Each structure stands twice: as C-alpha cells, then as structure tokens.
C-alpha cells in the first residue's frame, strides 16, 4: 500500500533536512533550513515543529532500511555463529562511507530531544530487540543441539553489538582499517564457538567473510 502523500512528503523532507543539519549543525535557523530544502518556513514547521522530530523520523527511516539490508544477508546462513558474524559484517557494510550519518542522528537526538531523548533512543533500540532475542535463542538452541560450544549467549550477543558500535565509531574517528579487527573477532572469538559436524554429516555453510565493496 502506498504511503499517504503527507507521510511520504514528511519522510522526504526529514531525510533531506537531516543531510543539511549534519552539514550545517542543529543551530541552523529554521528559515535557512527551509530555504535549503526549497520550502517555506511555515511548511517546514507544519511537518516538523521541532528539529527533534526531523531527526527522529530520519533515524527511524535509516534503521528500518538497515534492518531490511541486514536481515537479507543474515538469512543466507544457518549456523548461529555464522549468522552472528553476518550481522556484524552486513551492518558495517550498510554504513560504509556514511557512518557519520548514524552518529550524527543519534547525537542530534540527545541535543534536540529534550525530555523525550531517552524515549526516542529506547524506541530506536527497540527496532532491534526482536533480532537480538532471536540471536540469543539461536545460540542457546545451538548449544543444546551440540553445534555451538557452551557459552553465555546473552553476553555473546552483547559483545557482537559492542563490536558493531565500536567499529562504526572507529571508521569515523580513526584511520586504522577495521578488516583486521573483523578477522581477529572471527578467528579468535566466533569461530572457536562452532562445533563442526561429525565426518559424513552434511557440511555446513563456510564462514561468512567481510567483503570490500567493488571500487567504482
């Protein structure tokens, strides 16, 4: 079903406004923001009475797009450990070259959200709650079925999340490549948790690898 025209226009305005605010800062006067977007100030304020509402919509759209991108790549794998690594590598792939956007949006919420800041951030985190619960459950089932070595499934999933967050920030704030970190995380943390099937049993998917995008 197509989105209502006002909803689609608000979404478009929010995404374009977020680009301008990332470049110019959240102290940019609304009149100048409206001019940059090619609309009148009353039109901008009709759709978004506060900058927090712009950032909230833009962040929700970005996270929804990320969720679809990651889910498609994770579903290519069956083994719980392979799925964990696929999540790490696909999220980093999704944000490659635009890491500053997600950092700007989350930081801008803290600056503009006021009393609603915590609620907005919790709402954004809730987008991935179901995925995290699924990861924990799959690891626990893998332990029970003997394809994953015993470990604290919740702590493992939290570690995966920390690696994703940390490497996203590193791409913005440092010049060191993240590929060696991904390789180390796979070889020293995740791969040892996999229990290979006995000889003669159907083979399982090869470990996923972090892929570099083709040069243009």
The model's confidence at residue 204, banded by pLDDT at 50, 70 and 90, is very low
Per-residue model confidence as pLDDT tens digits over 155-172: 999 999 999 989 988 888
Per-residue model confidence as pLDDT tens digits over 120-141: 667 666 767 888 899 999 999 9
Residue 167 CB contacts under 8 Å (≥ 6 apart), including other chains: 92, 178, 181, 182
- The pLDDT of residue 118 is above 90: no
Q: What pLDDT does 7 receive?
A: 81
Q: What pLDDT does 117 receive?
A: 65
- Taking residue 130's Cβ as centre, other Cβ atoms within 10 Å add up to 10
The model's confidence at residue 198, banded by pLDDT at 50, 70 and 90, is low
Tokens of 85: 């690594």
The mean pLDDT value of the chain amounts to 85
Rounded to two decimals, what is the model's pTM? 0.77
The model's confidence at residue 203, banded by pLDDT at 50, 70 and 90, is very low
- Taking residue 9's Cβ as centre, other Cβ atoms within 10 Å add up to 14
Question: Which is more confidently placed, 209 or 22?
Answer: 22
Q: What pLDDT does 96 receive?
A: 87
What percent of the chain lies above the pLDDT cut of 70? 82
Give the separation between CA 161 and CA 59, rounded to whole angstroms.
Answer: 18
Per-residue model confidence as pLDDT tens digits over 52-88: 889 888 988 888 888 899 999 999 999 999 999 999 9
| Cα 195 → chain centroid | 29
């Amino acid at each position: 079903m197509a989105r209502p025209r006002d909803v689609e226009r608000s979404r478009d305005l929010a995404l374009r406004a977020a680009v301008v605010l990332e470049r110019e800062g959240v102290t940019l006067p609304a009149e100048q923001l409206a001019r940059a977007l090619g609309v009148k100030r009353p039109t901008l304020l009709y759709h978004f009475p506060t900058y927090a509402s712009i950032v909230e919509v833009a962040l929700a759209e970005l996270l929804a797009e990320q969720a679809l991108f990651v889910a498609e790549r994770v579903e290519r794998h069956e083994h719980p450990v392979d799925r964990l690594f696929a999540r790490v590598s696909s999220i980093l792939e999704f944000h490659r070259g635009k890491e500053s956007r997600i950092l700007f949006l989350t930081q801008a919420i803290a600056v503009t959200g006021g009393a609603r800041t915590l609620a907005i951030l919790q709402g954004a985190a809730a987008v991935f709650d179901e995925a995290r619960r699924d990861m924990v459950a799959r690891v626990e089932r893998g332990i029970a079925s003997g394809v994953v070595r015993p470990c604290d499934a919740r702590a493992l999933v939290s570690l995966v999340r920390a690696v994703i967050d940390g490497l996203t920030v590193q791409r913005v704030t440092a010049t060191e490549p993240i590929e060696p970190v991904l390789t180390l995380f796979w070889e020293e943390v995740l791969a040892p948790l996999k229990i290979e099937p006995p000889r003669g049993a159907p083979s399982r998917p090869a470990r996923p690898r972090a892929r570099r995008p083709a040069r243009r």
